[in-house]
């Protein structure tokens, strides 16, 4: 059983194996860092935590404490058991990737969450089947009554955290989002490290 705190380096990805019943605590160490989060069935990576399947499962735009996220096969995979970060998380926005930065006017390679997922899983000898839509922890994307979205800064405080309980044996993967053009990681545009722990 893994007890030490693991660093998700700034702009980078990290993955770990988690047994059913274990809890993963994701810490927003500096308070302003979005952490893209994915979970895959450890037995077959073709089953993954799915935002579009989870929203109808708990009938909300974002999960709250007590809500269970499900897979693309509609089976429970993670339950949100604790949240000291204020509840602003996103399930609507795809992981950033190379074309996303192209649309933002970046002409050279830019670190991105899709590649960080690839790299994080590769450290475990695994290959991602696709880049599922992530659970964007600490990402603050409020919506209006008219359905409009906006890019806002995280509301979380330094050291605040989210705890997720594994409902199956799974592989969890994180990306400390390297987005430094939009203000989702704070107006300073300086992505930072984050941490996680498995209990
Ligand atoms: Zn990102």
pLDDT given for residue 2 in this prediction: 52
Gap from CA of 177 to ligand 1 centroid (Å): 4
pLDDT tens digit sequence for 77-97? 999 999 999 999 999 999 999
* Per-residue three-class SS string for 165-192: EECCCEEEEEEECCCCCCHHHCCCCCCC
The mean pLDDT of the chain is: 96
pLDDT given for residue 30 in this prediction: 95
Gap from CA of 64 to ligand 1 centroid (Å): 22
Gap from CA of 11 to ligand 1 centroid (Å): 8
pLDDT tens digit sequence for 109-156? 999 999 999 999 999 999 999 999 999 999 999 999 999 999 999 999
Gap from CA of 179 to ligand 1 centroid (Å): 5
With a cut of 90, say whether residue 189 has pLDDT above it: no
Nearest to 32 by CA among 191, 180, 142: 191
pLDDT tens digit sequence for 28-52? 999 999 999 999 999 999 999 999 9
């Amino acid at each position: 059983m893994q007890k030490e705190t693991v660093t998700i380096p700034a702009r980078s990805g990290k993955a770990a194996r988690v047994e059913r019943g274990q809890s993963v605590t994701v810490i927003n160490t500096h308070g302003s860092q979005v952490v893209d989060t994915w979970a895959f069935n450890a037995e077959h990576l073709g089953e993954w935590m799915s935002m579009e399947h989870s929203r109808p499962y708990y009938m909300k735009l974002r999960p709250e404490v007590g809500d269970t996220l499900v897979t693309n096969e509609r089976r429970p995979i993670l339950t949100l058991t604790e949240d000291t970060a204020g509840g602003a998380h996103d399930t609507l926005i795809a992981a950033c990737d190379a074309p996303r930065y192209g649309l933002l006017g970046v002409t050279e390679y830019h670190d991105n969450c899709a590649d960080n997922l690839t790299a994080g899983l590769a450290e475990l000898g695994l290959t991602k089947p696709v880049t599922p839509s992530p659970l964007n922890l600490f990402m603050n994307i409020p919506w209006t009554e008219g359905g409009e979205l906006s890019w806002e800064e995280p509301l979380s405080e330094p050291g605040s955290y989210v705890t997720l309980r594994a409902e199956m044996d799974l592989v969890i993967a994180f990306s400390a989002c390297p987005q430094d053009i939009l203000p989702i990681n704070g107006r300073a545009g300086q992505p930072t490290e984050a941490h996680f722990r498995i209990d």
